């Protein structure tokens, strides 16, 4: 396609050059051809690259209740073509908690195609559910802040007093257990002593009655056996009682130790890890409150910038959908075009461009603002790789709409106010050097020239000829017996049987 455009440019150049060319008398030569001349003039020489593309908004905002605006598509972040906003409309909310809130729509003032200003109210919804979430988040934040304050400042006087009382109570319990143990031991010792005394008495009586009749001895022996059994039973009971008293003392001692440990924990400052955890909880609670507050504030959707409403997906009296309620496109408009890989090397951000919008028959100036460094497509038959280029339009008319087809022309290099000749006048190449055929008083001579920028239309001359000199840009085939003069018009009807270029090789 580019080669075809270049060839067309050369033909047009030949026609244009004919407007100021001078044709010699075609009957004066037996060779059957004459020269076409063009003057070396001062002007601009510009190289351009051309590609087809599509008009798009530089940015499209997706707006929903309870959330900050999302960027659905952006000329600075996409791969060169506008995003499908209906698909992006299903993205999740960027406001935590907002997705779980129901938004009954109260009013809708936006309509598709409406031009809006920043801050204009587009729609409003009932914020009751969002207010409940805000209240809950604030309560959680207050609790987290109170715990952090306690852990950072240590316990208050009440907590310390309660802990001290617990220690005193445990100590009193220990003292009482020790006293009970002492009394029990004394009582048990007395009971055991009495039982032992009964055994001693019975043994003494049996000894004293050794000479007594047998019945008396039998009675004494029975009394001694009974006293001994009573002593054994008393000894068992005394041991159990003393053990229980000792266990009560041990339990009371453990309670004192536990109370003292709890006291130490309560009066000691919180560990640094605990304070850090408290601070994290507070930060999380603060973020939740901020998000809930933002959701409440976003119960009314306002235009984030001047722009054009391109979608309205809500109706008053119905709950809002989970996706975008409204979409707004924002200026400036851009043109995204796919340039062949052979042209991309000469493209740079900041270059001037023009955008011809097919539907409006308007041409708008612009500036190249982005070159996507990743190939966007490859020709299935030609194998030509293309890259997406974005041109930002300068003050486009209101009739230029997103999605319209356009032809993007980027000026890749330009030299102003320089000596130039039609590119068809050049002969030679960059490797062998360039020359032109110059008209002189003695006829046509070949003159070596130094060139700068060469395009399909003009070649910049830096040395070799002067302004006003006439150079050969082609030849005409003559018809015998016919005299033709003029400005090169009527190529077929006035006897200019053919036109051949003399550019040799342009090296491009």
Q: What's the pLDDT tens digit per position in 140-171? A: 999 999 888 888 877 777 878 888 888 899 89
Task: Report the mean per-residue pLDDT for the chain.
Answer: 81
Q: Check pLDDT > 70 for residue 423.
A: yes
Q: What's the pLDDT tens digit per position in 428-475? A: 999 999 999 999 988 999 999 999 999 888 999 999 999 999 999 998
Distances (CA, A) of 181 to 20, 176, 178, 250, 506: 134, 9, 5, 11, 121
Q: Is the dihedral of CA 196, 198, 202, 208 positive or negative?
A: positive
Cβ burial of 382 (10 Å; 0-12, 13-18, 19+) is: exposed
Instruction: Specify whether 261 is located in the same domain as 314.
Output: no
Cα–Cα nearest to 249, from 339, 336, 169, 179: 179
Instruction: Specify whether 330 is located in the same domain as 365.
Output: yes
Instruction: Specify whether 260 is located in the same domain as 185.
Output: yes
Q: What's the pLDDT tens digit per position in 243-262? A: 998 999 999 899 999 988 88
pLDDT of 462: 94
- Whether the full predicted model's pTM is greater than 0.85, yes or no, is no
Strands 105-108 and 470-477: unpaired
How far apart, in whole angstroms, are the C-alpha atoms of residue 484 and residue 476?
A: 11
Contact criterion met (CB below 8 Å) for 10 and 456: yes
pLDDT of 153: 78
Instruction: Specify whether 242 is located in the same domain as 213.
Output: yes
CB atoms within 10 A of CB 157: 7
Structure tokens, 460: 């910049």
pLDDT of 298: 87
Tell me whether residue 145 is in a domain.
Answer: no
Tell me whether residue 480 is in a domain.
Answer: yes
Contact criterion met (CB below 8 Å) for 150 and 275: no
Residues 6+ apart with CB under 8 A from 113: 308, 309
Q: Check pLDDT > 70 for residue 29.
A: no
How far apart, in whole angstroms, are the C-alpha atoms of residue 348 and residue 344?
A: 8
Instruction: Specify whether 20 is located in the same domain as 61.
Output: no
Q: Check pLDDT > 60 for residue 1.
A: no
Cα–Cα nearest to 53, from 467, 453, 404: 404
Tell me whether residue 243 is in a domain.
Answer: yes
Contact criterion met (CB below 8 Å) for 60 and 72: yes
DSSP H/E element including 408: strand 405-422
Q: Is the dihedral of CA 450, 455, 460, 465 positive or negative?
A: positive
Lowest mean per-residue pLDDT among 160-164, 356-360, 368-372: 160-164
Contact criterion met (CB below 8 Å) for 314 and 325: yes
Q: Nearest 5°: phi and psi at 137?
A: -65, -35
Domain range for 91 is 50-125+304-408
Contact criterion met (CB below 8 Å) for 385 and 377: yes
Tell me whether residue 141 is in a domain.
Answer: no
pLDDT of 381: 53
Tell me whether residue 476 is in a domain.
Answer: yes
Instruction: Specify whether 184 is located in the same domain as 259.
Output: yes
The residues with which 435 forms a beta bridge, in sequence order, are 427, 448
Lowest mean per-residue pLDDT among 47-56, 289-298, 381-390, 449-458: 381-390
Count of domains forming the chain? 3
Question: Is 144 strand, coil or helix?
Answer: helix
Cα–Cα nearest to 61, from 352, 307, 255, 264: 307
Tell me whether residue 416 is in a domain.
Answer: no
Instruction: Specify whether 161 is located in the same domain as 256.
Output: yes
The residues with which 352 forms a beta bridge, in sequence order, are 367
End-to-end CA distance of the chain: 16
């Amino acid at each position: 396609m580019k080669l075809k455009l270049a060839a067309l440019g050369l033909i047009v150049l030949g026609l244009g050059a004919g407007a100021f060319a001078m044709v010699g008398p075609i009957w004066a030569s037996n060779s059957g051809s004459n020269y076409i001349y063009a003057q070396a003039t001062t002007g601009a020489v510009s190289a351009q690259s051309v590609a087809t593309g599509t008009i798009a908004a530089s940015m499209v905002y997706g707006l929903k209740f309870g959330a900050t605006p999302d960027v659905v598509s952006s000329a600075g972040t996409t791969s060169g073509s506008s995003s499908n906003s209906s698909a992006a409309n299903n993205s999740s909310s960027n406001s935590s908690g907002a997705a779980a809130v129901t938004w009954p729509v109260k009013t809708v003032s936006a309509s598709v195609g409406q031009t809006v200003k920043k801050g204009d109210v587009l729609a409003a919804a009932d914020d009751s559910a969002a207010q409940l979430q805000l209240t809950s988040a604030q309560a959680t934040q207050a609790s987290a802040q109170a715990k952090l304050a306690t852990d950072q400042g240590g316990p208050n006087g009440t907590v310390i007093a309660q802990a001290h009382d617990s220690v005193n109570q445990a100590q009193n319990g220990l003292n009482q257990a020790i006293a009970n143990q002492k009394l029990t031991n004394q009582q048990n010792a007395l009971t055991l002593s009495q039982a032992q005394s009964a055994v001693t008495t019975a043994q003494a009586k049996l000894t004293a009655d050794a000479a007594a009749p047998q019945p008396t001895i039998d009675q004494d022996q029975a009394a001694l056996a009974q006293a001994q059994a009573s002593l054994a039973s008393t000894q068992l009971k005394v041991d159990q009682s003393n053990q229980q008293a000792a266990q009560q003392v041990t339990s009371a001692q453990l309670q004192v130790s536990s109370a003292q440990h709890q006291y130490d924990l309560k009066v000691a400052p919180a560990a640094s890890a605990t304070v850090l955890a408290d601070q994290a909880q507070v930060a999380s609670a603060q973020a939740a409150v901020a998000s809930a507050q933002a959701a409440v504030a976003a119960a009314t959707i306002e235009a984030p910038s001047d722009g054009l409403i391109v979608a309205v997906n809500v109706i008053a009296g119905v709950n809002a959908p989970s996706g975008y309620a409204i979409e707004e496109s924002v200026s400036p408009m851009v043109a995204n075009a796919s340039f062949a890989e052979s042209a991309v090397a000469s493209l740079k951000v900041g270059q001037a461009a023009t955008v011809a919008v097919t539907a409006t028959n308007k041409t708008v100036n612009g500036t190249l603002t982005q070159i996507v460094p990743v190939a966007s497509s490859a020709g299935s038959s030609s194998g030509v790789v293309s890259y997406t280029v974005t041109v930002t339009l300068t003050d486009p008319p209101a009739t230029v709409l997103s999605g319209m087809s356009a032809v993007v022309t980027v000026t890749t290099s330009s030299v102003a106010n320089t000596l130039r000749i039609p590119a068809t006048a050049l002969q030679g190449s960059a490797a062998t050097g360039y020359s032109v055929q110059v008209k002189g008083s003695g006829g046509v001579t070949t003159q070596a020239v130094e060139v700068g920028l060469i395009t399909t239309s003009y070649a910049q001359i830096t040395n070799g000829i002067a302004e006003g000199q006439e150079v050969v840009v082609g030849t005409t085939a003559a018809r015998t017996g016919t005299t033709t003069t003029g400005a090169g018009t009527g190529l077929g009807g006035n006897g200019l049987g053919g036109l051949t270029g003399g550019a040799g090789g342009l090296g491009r």
